[in-house]
Every structure is written in structure tokens, then in C-alpha cells.
């Protein structure tokens, strides 16, 4: 593309350092078995090719080993490997202006320990020196800023389980079904009373995998509202229209004010992009 435009394109190459992020395997991205990045052992050859091209301008080196990390050591292990590669490139006259070390800093959903950000940054700066650092903090900023509100539609109990059928579903908040992820559940009305039991919170979608929480000790009544905490990251972005369900509204709360920032979808919205084939 740069050649066709007769220009020089600034580039960075994403490296796979083969470091275990110690997180859920679906969101681990820094091992050789993962699809992401260039094998670190092959990187020098690629950088040499890029450096020899008049259409490419080597700028940086990228690395992202996974998401929801709760330990600093994988970050620093990956950084050590990246800096070793930077030294090798410098010896060949290829200078790296910046390191994009990605994101991945985890948050507390339940009782996880979390990373001491200050200690992590200080350890990183001590290793990196004068190279510009780019970080991509996503979940760690917005994860615990979002709450998913759902309503109890029906209560159903049998000899084995107590089910609370809610109006929210896996299409709205996929993480529990997809990762078996935990989200704390709190009653919106702290004084609500109802049937005390160990409840499974299940949605109206027609498959057993449609659940948002299991085995939660709650006192519930039909019509209660529940808050699923820590839904600010990978909530709406992973939502879908599965089972022909319109996606929910998003409301921004600031102090005592609230603002509708995304309107609730309608059934009409689901069909808006479809075309009828005429005979």
C-alpha cells in the first residue's frame, strides 16, 4: 500500500513473547499456541526486512499478553524479553522509538487480588529507560464503573434448583456464559424482602447456557431489580441481538444526574438493514 501511494509508512510489529499471562485461556494472547503476534524468534528477520524497505519506517514494537491479569510478574517477564529484542535490534542499527505494551491490568470482580499500579509502573520505568511507553488501559478504567440492571420476571423452584428468570440475558452480558465469569449481584432496593434461597439468575433465551449468575444467596420477589456489578468492560461491546433481542439502553450517571447515552433498540431496528427480494 505504501509503495502504491509512493510514501513511507510508519510501522510497529506485534511480538508474541511466549509468556503465560496466568489468566483465562480465552483471553491469554502471549503464548506460542495463541494466534496473536509474530514469534519473537522470527522478529529480527522481519525488522531487518522492514528496515531495508524504502516504503517502511520502523517506529516501535508492540506486545500484549492477555487480559484480566492479576499478577505483575507476567508483564515484567514479557517486558524483559521485549527489551532483549530491542537490544538486539539496536546492535543492528534498528532503533525502536516506542514500546506499546498493551493493556491487561485486571480488576476485582469477586475476591481477586489486583495489581499495584504504582509498583507496576515504577518497575516498568526502571527497566525501559528512555523509550516511549504506550499502554492501553481499558477494563482497569471502566470495568467497575458500569452496572447492569435487570428485573426479576418470574421465580421458579424445584427439588434441585431455585431459578430467578430475569429480563436480562446472555446476549446482554455474555461474560458469565462465555467465560463462566463472576459478577457480584446486589438488590437495587436494599430493603427488599422475598423468598430467601440460593438462586440461579437465568435469562429468557432458549438455551441452558443463558445464565448471569448461579448459586447466589438472595431474598427475591417477582418484580425486584438486581444490579450486576463490574459490567463496564466487555458488557455492551460483547452484546448481540441473539434470539431476536434488541440491545439495552445505556445510561450515564454523574452525581445525581443521569443521561441517556444510547437508546434502547427496538424490534424495528433488528430488521432495518434487511432487504426483501422481489420476484
Q: What pLDDT, in 10s, does the model give residues 149-203?
A: 999 999 999 999 999 999 999 999 999 999 999 999 999 998 878 999 999 999 9
Which residues share a beta bridge with 152?
A: 166
Pairing of strands 98-100, 211-220: unpaired
pLDDT at 23: 93
**Radius of gyration for the chain, computed over Cα atoms and rounded to the nearest angstrom:** 24
pTM of the predicted protein model: 0.89
Q: Which helix (H) or strand (E) holds 87?
A: helix 73-91
Q: What pLDDT, in 10s, does the model give residues 36-60?
A: 999 999 999 999 999 999 999 999 9
What is the C-alpha separation between 230 and 143, in angstroms, rounded?
A: 5
Pairing of strands 132-134, 195-202: unpaired
Q: In what order do the strands lie in the sheet with 132-134?
A: 38-39, 9-16, 56-62, 98-100, 132-134
Distances, alpha carbon 168 to alpha carbons 123, 125, 148, 210, 235, in Å: 42, 43, 9, 10, 12
**224 touches 199 (CB < 8 A):** no
Reply yes or no on whether the pLDDT at 275 is more than 90: yes
**69 touches 48 (CB < 8 A):** no
Q: How many CB atoms are closer than 10 A to CB 2?
A: 15
The whole-angstrom distance between residue 242's C-alpha and the CA centroid of its chain comes to 20
pLDDT at 90: 95
The whole-angstrom distance between residue 264's C-alpha and the CA centroid of its chain comes to 22
Q: Roughly how many angstroms between the first and final C-alpha of the chain, as a whole number?
A: 42
The whole-angstrom distance between residue 203's C-alpha and the CA centroid of its chain comes to 22
Reply yes or no on whether the pLDDT at 279 is more than 80: no
Listed in sequence order, the residues at least 6 apart from 133 whose beta carbon sits closer than 8 Å to its beta carbon are: 98, 99, 101, 124, 125
What is the C-alpha separation between 32 and 229, in angstroms, rounded?
A: 34
Distances, alpha carbon 46 to alpha carbons 29, 32, 71, in Å: 20, 17, 31
pLDDT at 129: 84
pLDDT at 130: 87
Distances, alpha carbon 53 to alpha carbons 50, 86, 176, in Å: 5, 19, 47
pLDDT at 193: 84
Catalytic residue among 1, 126, 206, 261: 206
Q: Which of 223, 229, 218 is nearest to 149 (CA)?
A: 229
96 half-sphere exposure, CB direction, 13 A CA radius: 30
Percent of the chain that is helix, strand, coil (3-state, to 5): 25, 30, 45
pLDDT, average across residues 273-278: 91
Q: Which domains does the chain have, with CATH numbers?
A: 9-141 (3.20.20.10), 146-271 (2.40.37.10)
63 in active site: no
pLDDT at 192: 79
Amino acid at each position: 500500500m505504501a509503495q502504491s501511494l509512493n510514501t513511507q509508512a510508519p510501522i510497529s510489529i506485534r511480538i508474541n513473547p511466549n509468556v503465560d499471562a496466568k489468566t483465562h485461556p480465552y483471553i491469554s494472547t502471549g503464548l506460542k499456541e495463541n494466534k496473536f503476534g509474530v514469534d519473537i524468534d522470527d522478529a529480527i528477520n522481519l525488522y531487518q526486512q522492514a528496515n531495508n524497505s524504502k516504503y517502511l519506517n520502523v517506529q516501535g514494537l508492540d506486545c500484549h499478553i492477555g487480559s484480566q491479569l492479576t499478577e505483575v510478574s507476567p508483564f515484567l517477564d514479557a517486558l524483559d524479553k521485549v527489551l532483549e529484542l530491542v537490544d538486539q535490534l539496536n546492535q543492528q542499527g534498528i532503533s525502536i522509538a516506542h514500546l506499546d505494551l498493551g493493556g491487561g491490568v485486571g480488576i476485582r470482580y469477586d475476591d481477586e487480588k489486583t495489581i499495584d499500579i504504582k509498583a507496576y509502573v515504577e518497575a516498568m520505568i526502571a527497566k525501559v529507560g528512555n523509550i516511549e511507553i504506550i499502554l492501553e488501559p481499558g477494563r482497569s478504567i471502566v470495568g467497575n464503573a458500569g452496572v447492569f440492571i435487570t428485573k426479576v420476571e418470574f421465580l421458579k423452584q424445584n427439588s434441585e434448583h431455585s431459578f430467578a428468570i430475569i429480563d436480562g440475558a446472555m446476549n446482554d452480558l455474555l461474560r458469565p456464559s462465555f467465560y463462566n465469569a463472576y459478577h457480584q449481584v446486589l438488590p437495587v432496593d436494599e430493603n427488599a424482602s422475598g423468598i430467601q434461597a440460593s438462586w440461579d439468575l437465568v435469562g429468557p433465551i432458549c438455551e441452558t447456557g443463558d445464565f448471569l449468575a448461579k448459586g447466589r444467596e438472595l431474598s427475591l420477589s417477582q418484580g425486584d431489580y438486581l444490579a450486576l456489578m463490574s459490567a463496564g468492560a466487555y458488557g455492551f461491546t460483547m452484546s448481540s441481538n441473539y434470539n431476536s433481542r434488541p440491545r439495552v439502553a445505556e445510561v450515564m450517571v454523574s452525581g445525581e444526574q443521569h443521561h441517556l447515552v444510547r437508546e434502547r433498540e427496538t424490534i424495528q431496528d433488528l430488521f432495518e438493514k434487511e432487504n426483501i427480494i422481489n420476484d
